[in-house]
Amino acid sequence: MTESEMPSCHDLLTPFGMSAPLFLAPMALVSGGRLAAAVTCAGGFGFIGGGYGDRDWLIREFDAAGDTPVGVGFITWALARQPGLLDLALARRPRAIFLSFGDLAPLVGRIRAAGVPLFAQVQTVAGARAAIEAGADIIVAQGTEAGGHGAARGTLALVPAVRDAIGAAPLVAAGGIADGRGMAAALMLGADAVLCGTAFYVAEESLAHSRLREAAVATSGDDTSRDTVFDLARGLDWPVPWTLRARRNAFHGRWAEAPGAMTQDDRAAYAAGAMKGDPATAAVIVGEAVDLVKSGEPAAAIATRIAGEARHILSGAEERLWPEPIGLIR
């Protein structure tokens, strides 16, 4: 795709009333209504993390968002297990629906009939093509660096490959983006905007336990891994090829070699630790960019800083180029 054929990020931002190309990831049970609304009010756009679909939780978090425009995201294959959940969400008139990990085709008709834009998160070029064919309006190309569930391809190579595959369709980059440098790089790779989760996991409005937010601030991306330990601890049988990236801890170390050997008592012990926000037990679901997360602060401050850093970097991009064509080293 040539520069003249590249879509403008304004084509994506304008319908959502955004002043910055930044979306809040719909982190399950972490991105609540207050967090989503705060990101929207800061000029980005926030998604409530509906995850596996807790009806009462979802109603409560839509109420928490108030009249602020927000979207809602779900794990696609989980919606099939809860008939009516999508209808409940659509009845709250979300500005967008975000689906990840599964066949979205059976849901597209109802979403389109409601006049709601559909975001589809994918981890492969083939997945991006399939999502477009199924009727997705916006593609989110998620690299393996992302926290939470994902697959194997890295953001740096995946985003431009997906851009080439989907043409001018709106494209959002996700995975390993937690500051303005990441945003600027993603835009140069052909994305129209970025999706950030880890950067907002520690926000004051985050629903993550305070002890887990503190653990995230002290974590390095070196301390994360992608596997099935915490899914099995929570009794979740995730389909191939998706695994969960989270911070390793004592519980993870105990089961890393043989997660399938966990018993019901072990899962009960995990649940008890997670309820207390015990960082030695509970999953701190963050990505490789957690190194860049230095402190907990209001979501608006996080969003404003990321967008401001990116604007500054891109405004000085010409100065970063070589003044003359590169020749042979003499």
**Tens-digit pLDDT profile for residues 192-219:** 999 999 999 999 999 999 999 999 999 9
pLDDT value of residue 270: 97
Which residues have a Cβ under 8 Å from the Cβ of 189 and sit 6 or more positions away? 156, 159, 160, 163, 173
Q: How confident is the model at residue 324 (pLDDT cuts 50, 70, 90)?
A: low
Mean pLDDT of 138-166: 98
pLDDT value of residue 327: 57
Asked whether residue 74 carries a pLDDT value surpassing 90, the answer given is yes
- Does 286 fall in a domain? no
Give bridge partners of residue 70 from the DSSP assignment: none
Model pLDDT for residues 261-297, shown as the tens digit of each residue:
999 999 999 999 999 999 999 999 999 999 999 999 9
Which residues have a Cβ under 8 Å from the Cβ of 158 and sit 6 or more positions away? 123, 124, 125, 141, 142, 143, 175
Supply the CATH number for residue 135's domain: 3.20.20.70
Asked whether residue 234 carries a pLDDT value surpassing 60, the answer given is yes
Query: Phi and psi at residue 247, in whole multiples of 5°?
Result: -70, 130
Report d(CA 149, CA 123) in Å as an integer.
Answer: 10
Q: Do 87 and 165 sit in the same domain of this protein? A: yes
Which H helix or E strand runs over 138?
strand 138-142
Q: Do 246 and 163 sit in the same domain of this protein? A: no
Average pLDDT, the chain: 93
Q: Do 238 and 136 sit in the same domain of this protein? A: no
Q: Do 89 and 229 sit in the same domain of this protein? A: no
Beta carbons of 205 and 38 less than 8 angstroms apart? yes
Give bridge partners of residue 173 from the DSSP assignment: 141, 194
Q: Which domain holds residue 192?
A: 3-207+293-309
Q: How confident is the model at residue 328 (pLDDT cuts 50, 70, 90)?
A: low
Q: Do 186 and 229 sit in the same domain of this protein? A: no
Asked whether residue 4 carries a pLDDT value surpassing 50, the answer given is no
pLDDT value of residue 325: 59
